Structure 1
Amino acid sequence: MKMVTPFLASLLAVSACMTASVCDAATKAKAKPKPLPTYKTSFDCASPQASAEKLICHDAQLAQMDLELNRLYLLALSDEHSVPHPDKVEIDQQFWIDTRNQCDSGPQAKPCVIRSYAERAHQLRQGSAIARTKDPSRRTEGPVAFHCAGLSPLVAATYFTVEPGVVFLKWANTSITLNQVPNNYGTQYTGKDYKGNYSFWQIGDDVFLQIPGSGKMNCAAEPVG
Structure 2
Amino acid sequence: MRAFFAACLLLAAPAFAQEGPSFDCSKAQSDAEQLICQDADLARLDRLVTARYVAALDVVEGLDTGAERAKQSLRAEQRGWIKGRDECWKADDLRTCIADSYLRREGELVARWMLEEPAGIAFWACGGNPANEVATYFYATELPSVRFERGDSVDTGSLVPTGSGSRYEASFGRSIWIKGDNAIYRDPDPDGSEWDCVLASNG
Tell me the TM-score range normalised by the shorter chain. Answer: 0.5 to 0.7
* CA deviation vs aligned residue, 1:21-63 (integer Å, no higher than 9, x gap): xxxxxxxxxxxxxxxxx95544334534555655766437843
CA deviation after TM superposition for structure 1 residue 169, in Å: 3.1
Structure 2 vs 1, CA of residues 72 and 192 (structure 1 numbering), >3 Å: closer, same or farther? Answer: closer
Equivalent residue, structure 2, for 1:218 = 199
State the distance in 2 between where 1:51 and 1:117 align.
21
Structure 2 gap segments, 5+ residues each: 1-17, 187-193
State the distance in 2 between where 1:114 and 1:153 align.
28
Structure 2 vs 1, CA of residues 64 and 166 (structure 1 numbering), >3 Å: closer, same or farther? Answer: farther
Out of 146, 158, 162, which is 1:167 matched to? Answer: 146
Structure having the higher helix fraction is 2
Give yes or no for the alignment of 1:148 onto 2:124.
yes
Q: Percentage identity across aligned positions?
A: 12
Give yes or no for the alignment of 1:157 onto 2:137.
yes
State the distance in 1 between where 2:26 and 2:106 align.
21
Equivalent residue, structure 2, for 1:26 = none
Q: Bigger relative contact order, structure 1 or 2, given CA contacts below 8 A and separation 6+?
A: 2
* CA deviation vs aligned residue, 1:168-201 (integer Å, no higher than 9, x gap): 4343557452226699x9x945448775964347
Q: Secondary structure at the match of 2:75?
A: helix
Query: Which residue identity does 1:92 align to in structure 2?
Result: S
CA deviation after TM superposition for structure 1 residue 99, in Å: 0.9
Structure 1 gap segments, 5+ residues each: 1-37, 126-131, 133-139
Out of 85, 108, 114, which is 1:119 matched to? Answer: 108
Structure 2 vs 1, CA of residues 153 and 94 (structure 1 numbering), >3 Å: closer, same or farther? Answer: same
Q: Secondary structure at the match of 1:161?
A: coil
Q: Is the 8 A contact 1:157 1:168 kept in 2?
A: yes
CA deviation after TM superposition for structure 1 residue 150, in Å: 1.6
Q: Is the 8 A contact 1:167 1:189 kept in 2?
A: no
State the distance in 2 between where 1:82 and 1:42 align.
30
Provide TM-score, normalisation by structure 2.
Answer: 0.52
State the distance in 2 between where 1:55 and 1:219 align.
46
Equivalent residue, structure 2, for 1:23 = none
Structure 2 vs 1, CA of residues 148 and 170 (structure 1 numbering), >3 Å: closer, same or farther? Answer: same
